[in-house]
Structure 1
Amino acid sequence: MLILLPPSEGKTAPRRGSPLDLDGLVAPTLREPRTQVLDALTALCAGDVADAAAVLGVGAGQHDLVAANAHLRSAPTARADRVYTGVLYDALDAASLSPAARRRAATRVAVTSSVFGLVRLADRIPAYRLAGDVALPGLGPVAGLWRAHLGEAVTAALGRGLLVDLRSGTYAAFWRPPADLAPRVATVRVLHEHGGTRKVVSHFNKATKGRLVRALLEDGRAPRTPAALADVLRDLGWHVEVGDAGPKGTQLDVVVTEV
């Protein structure tokens, strides 16, 4: 089973740690596109700060993020699960997982990154600012770059297991599973139900996905089909509705009434 997560917009910058080592990251086939993104991003942020901020979509009060991007190659690194913060990662709380669940997380969880393409939770990365919908000068949209490279890395990480796709729409555009993988793809949508109405609410969505991942890692089972995953989640106390199978996989709706 491979659980594919989005990154967080917010990140905790390591105060100390070794500098970035691209050869130490998972999926060595991604070294070239990682280098391309790093080169384009650091060059942008080493130039005019206001211009870089406009490209990256950061406000005037966040120019420190631009400065940090300019030094990504020499910046301290830490485990990805300590760098990525925010609602989903707070709910996952990887540091407090049981030893067995932490071992499962090392092999069952990966994050789609606009800078690194794909990282494991134990991969050491610096804090960066680059949203998935940004187009970098001289390189173009980062989503387009990764679409040309991520397929081999993700399918290698997936093996013969089930893909549990929890990515947001922005990062889902980096790589879409081909039709031949559809029977082994479950996309999870979280719906908040209130007063008889259901809708996607960002906070509920992220928090619930973090808790789902945590529950699956602690439980330890590795379902091989979307229907089997739905059964596991129901056993763990979630309300799950299974959609029809299609060429992109099967959608599971997890319905919650409170965060």
Structure 2
Amino acid sequence: MLILLPPSESKTGRARGRALDLDRLSVPELTAYRAEVVAALAETSARPDAAATLGVSPNLTEEIARNTRLTTAPSVPVAELYTGVLYDALDLTSLDTAARRRANRRVLVVSALFGALRLTDHVPPYRLSMAVNLPGTGPLAGHWRSPLAKTLPGLVGRGLIIDCRSSTYAAAWVPQGDLARRWVQIRVPGATHMAKHTRGLVTRALCQIDQDPRTPAGLAEVLAETFRVELHEPSGATKPWILDVHPPA
């Protein structure tokens, strides 16, 4: 089972720690692509029009400036880096040792800057969205599409793909062929805030179970113990299964 999460805009940093080392990150096949984005983001963030290019408020001067120090700033474990609604609901720090180990193995964060990250990777805080057309790399979803298509299938193995990404990040990798038949998109009816919260709870629940569900129906059965769920078959050969998970009352 591979659980795909989006990053969050809000991130936590550290005053001390080792600097970014791209060669120590998981999924080393992405190293060269990561280096290109790191360099392009640093260059773009040093320009007067950085906020407009990055699609952020001009008031976020410190967050933009942080992008220019990516290779020297202290890095943070990904498990601690991302904050916000989804990651608050996931609440990794409160998981027991076995569940935390499963989270490290099962969760993959799709990142505009680094392509894909494990929870055990160490990276610095940054500000960059997958929706950005970054000078030097072009549209980031397009930059990552080919390398992710080559590397992520090997991480899935024979298990399910549990997709909790937003549409912006989902554009960077669309499972194909046999993988598409094992691709389940978690959909949460209702407001965006509750959607993020519920996806965090779903991820937490999947990290707490010992056995991997092997089929979409099996996944729905497991989650039905905690949530009200409805499974919908794919609407086409390259479309995912849709699992509606209703927010807890």
Worse overlay, 213-222 or 21-30: 213-222
Q: Which residue of 2 aligns with 1:67?
A: 65
What value does the CA root-mean-square deviation take over the aligned residues?
1.1
- Detail structure 1 runs of 4+ shifted over 3 Å in the superposition: none
8 Å contact from structure 1 (residues 56, 134) kept in 2: yes
Q: Which residue of 2 aligns with 1:35?
A: 35
8 Å contact from structure 1 (residues 183, 225) kept in 2: no
Q: Which amino acid aligns with 1:11?
A: K
* Cα separation, 2, equivalents of 1:160 and 1:34: 27
* Cα separation, 2, equivalents of 1:256 and 1:125: 32
Q: Which residue of 2 aligns with 1:256?
A: 247
Q: TM-score, normalised by structure 1?
A: 0.92
Q: TM-score, normalised by structure 2?
A: 0.96
Q: Does 1:242 align with 2:231?
A: yes
- Out of 199, 216, 219, the residue aligned to residue 209 of structure 1 is 199
Using the aligned pairs only, state the percent identity.
Answer: 49
8 Å contact from structure 2 (residues 160, 215) kept in 1: yes
Q: Which residue of 1 aligns with 2:139?
A: 141
8 Å contact from structure 1 (residues 44, 52) kept in 2: yes
* Cα separation, 1, equivalents of 2:91 and 2:15: 20
Q: Which residue of 2 aligns with 1:195?
A: none
**What's the CA shift string for 1:93-135, capped at 9, x where partnerless?**
1111100001101110000000000000110010000011001
More strand by share: 1
- Structure 2 gaps of 5+ residues are none
8 Å contact from structure 2 (residues 75, 122) kept in 1: yes
- Out of 178, 183, 186, the residue aligned to residue 188 of structure 1 is 186
Q: Which amino acid aligns with 2:230?
A: E
Alignment of 1:82-161 (within 5 A): 82-161=80-159
Q: Which amino acid aligns with 2:46?
A: A
How many residue pairs are counted as aligned between the two chains? Answer: 247
**What's the CA shift string for 1:63-104, capped at 9, x where partnerless?**
111110001011100111211110000110111110000110
* Cα separation, 2, equivalents of 1:26 and 1:153: 11
